[in-house]
Amino acid sequence: MTISRELFIRNRLGLHARAAIKLVELAQSFEAVITITNGANSATADGVMGLLMLDSAQGQKIIVSAEGQDAQSALIAVANLIEAGFDEDN
């Protein structure tokens, strides 16, 4: 079963390299496949390059989906990271 949540990119620089690395490292700690969707484009959160290709800027709406054993925990953790602006000074 796949669960999803709609979020907004809050940090000033959007989903850039440092933020993508944080997201990938977090995603790898769960037994779940996490997918980020921005408009018509999607990427799994297991690779930095795919996330950077989404070109997600501040204020953009994204959909975070998770599927697998830890889907619920993974979705909550990823949502918290994104909503916290990837722990960057906004």
Q: Name the residues annotated as catalytic.
A: 16
Chain centroid offset of residue 74 CA:
10
Q: Check if the beta carbon of residue 74 is closer than 8 Å to that of residue 2.
A: no
44 to 16, 49, 53, 71, 88: CA distances (angstroms): 15, 10, 11, 13, 22
Rounded to whole angstroms, the Cα distance separating 36 from 69 reads 18
